[in-house]
């Protein structure tokens, strides 16, 4: 293939928006389009997306980019492959006969399944949240797909009926998109997922990379309703219609794993931290799964080909990162847009003693407390909106610090630098605070679409645009900016201790009778 005329597309379907980007073989973005995704919060703690919106925003982005390529004089025929990357765990049930969703998508950070989690924990002889961790690598919490699916099977009549009649299809967002982009219920739609997405469901055995009969029984799910598990880099099918009809869909990874590939964390011991709606650190642990003893998740990092050896990661997940800035914007009106955060939070030299624990749907790693709710502590007459804005940025930085400590304890490896990406890394102040509060240099690439790049790399690899990881290691390499830690160790430790006291204040907030909220 003559590389100068080769392009690769990438669908990046995130929590707050869908994007389609086209990369050239060097990993440079040649065209892109982004469409916001409507969020639905039908009750406190509930968070849904309309599956039609997910699909339509993706198609809109693809159409817009096709028109842009045309105006740039780029032939659509030169786009050789498309990769898909997506918000993970978000669960969709649909009807195999009509392709229609049977309920809204339940989003990864939705906390309605607290009661399901409690019930399953108490039913298990061990009475432990870690009762299935040895099989799937994950603790029982509201975060993962298995409990969301169980909730739908228990509460949504249309899902129950489809299950009884053998018409139920269940998938994460990758499966929903691939199914519809390859033709849907007309008969051609491919019903597949990749190992990285499957590793977030609590239904896959993290060692065999197959659906676990034991876990499916545990959650009351029939394996026949689940997609086929494939590698992250192979041809799943071809786009059925629209400007890119006929192009192979040949890469698929959950968005955090895609960022890990896009950041080229191919060596054991390398890690990246992606600051989007939530914030997710993935640490490459090599070809064997490591089960965490310090609140981290065991997940598949990538499997770049059907015969390739899977690479595993330890993950530290933070539920609310950029989402807290959106809350400052939409619910408090402290900022008009996320890009204002540096001006507002930078107007004061420190947090003025204010600590904000944005546990809107409980606390994820390393705490795993779904009884926690958000709190702002340390308020005095002196405190103002600037301190709250600063405390909002610091919250993600402190949680990242806690995750770095847990990774160090689990792996014995102390990271020498933190590779970062995602929307919130546009904040210079946040990156400086991160370096200061965690005491680690923070390395930010000029090209921050690393999630989309990772999926494009997997797609290109599958069809031979790049031949191996060595070739990929130069793809998308852009300038780096490093933020150096400048806070004294004693002061860093004092602030982290204050953060930990604030976390204590957020815990055990959900009352017994309201625990299903
Ligand atoms: N200039 C900015 N400074 C700080 N945060 C930002 C900025 N621009 C966007 N964000 C935050 O980044 C998040 C979106 O990042 P993105 O990587 O697109 O996330 P997702 O994939 O979760 O939709 C938003 O929650 C927003 O608050
Ligand atoms: O949409 P993002 O980028 O915040 O990613 C969401 C994660 O995949 C949830 O696990």
Residue closest by Cα to atom 18 of ligand 1: 423
pLDDT tens-digit series, residues 367-422: 999 899 999 999 999 999 999 999 999 999 999 999 999 999 988 888 888 999 99
Determine the pLDDT at residue 478.
Answer: 77
Cα separation, 241 vs 466, in Å, equals 27
Q: Give the strand pairing for 248-254 and 233-238.
A: antiparallel
Reduced to 3 states (helix: H, G, I; strand: E, B; else coil), residue 339 is helix
Q: Give the strand pairing for 271-275 and 418-421.
A: parallel
Residue 248 phi, psi (nearest 5): -70, 140
Neighbours of 370 (CB within 10 A): 25
Determine the pLDDT at residue 4.
Answer: 65
Atom of ligand 2 nearest to the CA of 278: 4
Residue closest by Cα to atom 12 of ligand 1: 423
Best residue among 274, 423, 455 to mutate for probing ligand 1, ranked by most atoms within 8 Å of CB: 423
Which H or E run includes 63? Answer: helix 51-71
Residue 83 phi, psi (nearest 5): -110, 160
CATH superfamily of 318-444+487-516: ATPase, nucleotide binding domain (3.30.420.40)
Beta pairing partners, 83: 10, 251
Could you tell me if 203 and 212 are in contact, meaning their C-beta atoms sit under 8 angstroms apart? yes
Could you tell me if 310 and 364 are in contact, meaning their C-beta atoms sit under 8 angstroms apart? no
Residue 285 Cβ < 6 Å to ligand 2:
no
Determine the pLDDT at residue 476.
Answer: 83
For residues 431-436, give the mean pLDDT: 98
Determine the pLDDT at residue 396.
Answer: 98
Rg (CA), the chain: 22
Reduced to 3 states (helix: H, G, I; strand: E, B; else coil), residue 59 is helix
Kindly report the CA angle at 45 between 17 and 301, in degrees rounded to 5? 50
Length of the chain: 517
Best residue among 322, 358, 432 to mutate for probing ligand 1, ranked by most atoms within 8 Å of CB: 322
Reduced to 3 states (helix: H, G, I; strand: E, B; else coil), residue 22 is strand
- For residue 286 the two structure tokens come to 């090599």
Cα separation, 418 vs 189, in Å, equals 40
Confidence of residue 309 (pLDDT cuts 50, 70, 90): very high
For the whole model, what pTM was predicted? 0.93
pLDDT tens-digit series, residues 111-168: 999 999 999 998 888 888 888 999 999 999 999 999 999 999 999 999 999 999 999 9
Q: Does domain 3-263+446-472 have CATH number 3.30.830.10?
A: no
pLDDT tens-digit series, residues 446-456: 888 999 999 99
Name every residue whose Cβ is closer than 8 Å to that of residue 494 and which is 6 or more positions away in sequence. Answer: none
Determine the pLDDT at residue 171.
Answer: 97
Helix, strand, coil shares of the chain, percent, nearest 5, are 35, 25, 40
Residue closest by Cα to atom 5 of ligand 2: 87
Determine the pLDDT at residue 23.
Answer: 96
Cα separation, 341 vs 334, in Å, equals 9
Cα separation, 17 vs 277, in Å, equals 10
Atom of ligand 1 nearest to the CA of 14: 21
State the chain's mean pLDDT as an integer.
94
For residues 184-201, give the mean pLDDT: 93
Q: How far, CA to CA in Å, does 67 sit from each of 24, 63, 64, 199, 279?
A: 17, 6, 5, 36, 33
Residues of the chain with CATH 3.30.420.40: 3-263+446-472, 318-444+487-516
For residues 431-438, give the mean pLDDT: 97
Residue 256 Cβ < 6 Å to ligand 2:
yes
Atom of ligand 2 nearest to the CA of 274: 3
Cα separation, 470 vs 454, in Å, equals 14
Determine the pLDDT at residue 176.
Answer: 98
Residue closest by Cα to atom 9 of ligand 2: 88
pLDDT at residue 515 is higher than 60: no
Best residue among 277, 316, 319 to mutate for probing ligand 2, ranked by most atoms within 8 Å of CB: 277
For residue 450, the CA-to-ligand 1 centroid distance in Å is: 14
Assembly ipTM: 0.98
For residues 432-456, give the mean pLDDT: 94
pLDDT at residue 516 is higher than 50: no
Cα separation, 365 vs 289, in Å, equals 18
Confidence of residue 217 (pLDDT cuts 50, 70, 90): very high
Determine the pLDDT at residue 465.
Answer: 94
Could you tell me if 421 and 275 are in contact, meaning their C-beta atoms sit under 8 angstroms apart? yes
For residue 372, the CA-to-ligand 1 centroid distance in Å is: 24
For residues 237-249, give the mean pLDDT: 96
pLDDT at residue 53 is higher than 50: yes
- Burial track 207-230 (b if 16+ CB lie within 10 A, e otherwise): bebebbeebbebbebeeebbbebb
Neighbours of 44 (CB within 10 A): 12
For residues 188-208, give the mean pLDDT: 96
Percent pLDDT > 70 in the chain is 98
Residue 424 Cβ < 6 Å to ligand 1:
yes
For residues 276-283, give the mean pLDDT: 94
Determine the pLDDT at residue 512.
Answer: 53
Residue 315 Cβ < 6 Å to ligand 2:
no
Cα separation, 348 vs 15, in Å, equals 31
For residues 326-334, give the mean pLDDT: 95
Cα separation, 488 vs 484, in Å, equals 12
Which H or E run includes 421? Answer: strand 418-421
Atom of ligand 2 nearest to the CA of 108: 9
Cα separation, 395 vs 382, in Å, equals 20
């Amino acid at each position: 293939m003559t590389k100068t005329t080769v392009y690769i597309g990438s669908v990046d379907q995130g929590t707050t928006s869908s994007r389609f980007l086209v990369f050239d073989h060097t990993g440079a973005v040649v065209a892109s389009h982004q469409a916001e995704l409507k969020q639905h919060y039908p009750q406190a703690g509930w968070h849904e997306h309309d599956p039609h919106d997910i699909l339509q925003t993706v198609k809109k982005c693809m159409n817009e980019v096709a028109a842009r390529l045309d105006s740039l004089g780029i032939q659509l025929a030169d786009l050789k492959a498309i990769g898909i990357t997506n918000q993970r765990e978000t669960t969709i049930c649909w009807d195999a006969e009509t392709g229609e969703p049977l309920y809204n998508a339940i989003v990864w950070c939705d906390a309605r399944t607290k009661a399901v989690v409690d019930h399953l924990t108490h039913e298990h002889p061990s009475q432990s949240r870690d009762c299935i961790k040895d099989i799937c690598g994950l603790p029982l919490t509201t975060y993962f797909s298995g409990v969301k699916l169980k909730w739908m099977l228990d509460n949504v009549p249309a899902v129950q009926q489809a299950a009884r009649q053998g018409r139920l299809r269940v998938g994460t967002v990758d499966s929903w998109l691939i199914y519809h982009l390859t033709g849907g219920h007309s008969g051609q739609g491919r019903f597949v997922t990749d190992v990285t997405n499957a590793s977030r469901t609590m239904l896959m055995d993290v060692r065999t990379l197959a659906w676990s009969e034991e876990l499916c029984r545990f959650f009351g799910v029939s394996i026949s309703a689940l997609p086929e598990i494939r590698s992250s880099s192979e041809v799943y099918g071809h786009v059925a219609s629209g400007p890119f009809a006929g192009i192979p869909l040949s890469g698929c990874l959950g968005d955090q794993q895609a960022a890990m590939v896009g950041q080229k964390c191919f060596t054991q011991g390398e890690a990246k931290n992606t600051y989007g709606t939530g914030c997710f650190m993935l640490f490459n642990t090599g070809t064997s799964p490591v089960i965490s003893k310090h609140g981290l998740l065991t997940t598949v990092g990538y499997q770049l080909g059907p015969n390739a050896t899977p690479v595993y990661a330890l993950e530290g997940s933070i539920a609310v990162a950029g989402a807290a800035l959106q809350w400052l914007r939409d619910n408090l009106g402290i900022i008009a847009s996320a890009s204002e955060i540096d001006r507002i939070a930078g107007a004061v030299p420190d947090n003025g003693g204010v600590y904000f624990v944005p546990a809107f749907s409980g606390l994820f790693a390393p705490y795993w407390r779904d009884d926690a709710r958000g709190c702002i502590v340390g308020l005095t007459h002196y405190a103002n909106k600037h301190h709250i804005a600063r405390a909002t940025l610091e919250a993600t930085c402190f949680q990242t610090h806690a995750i770095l400590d847990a990774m160090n304890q689990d792996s014995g490896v102390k990271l020498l630098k933190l590779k970062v990406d995602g929307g919130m890394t546009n904040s210079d102040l946040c990156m400086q605070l991160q370096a200061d509060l965690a005491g680690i240099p923070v390395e930010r690439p000029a090209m921050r679409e690393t999630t989309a790049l990772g999926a494009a790399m997997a797609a290109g690899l599958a069809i031979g645009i790049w031949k191996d990881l060595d070739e990929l290691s130069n793809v998308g390499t852009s300038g780096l900016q490093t933020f150096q830690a400048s806070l004294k160790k004693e002061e860093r430790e004092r602030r982290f201790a204050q953060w930990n006291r604030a976390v204590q204040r957020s815990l055990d907030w959900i009352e017994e009778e309201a625990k299903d909220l």
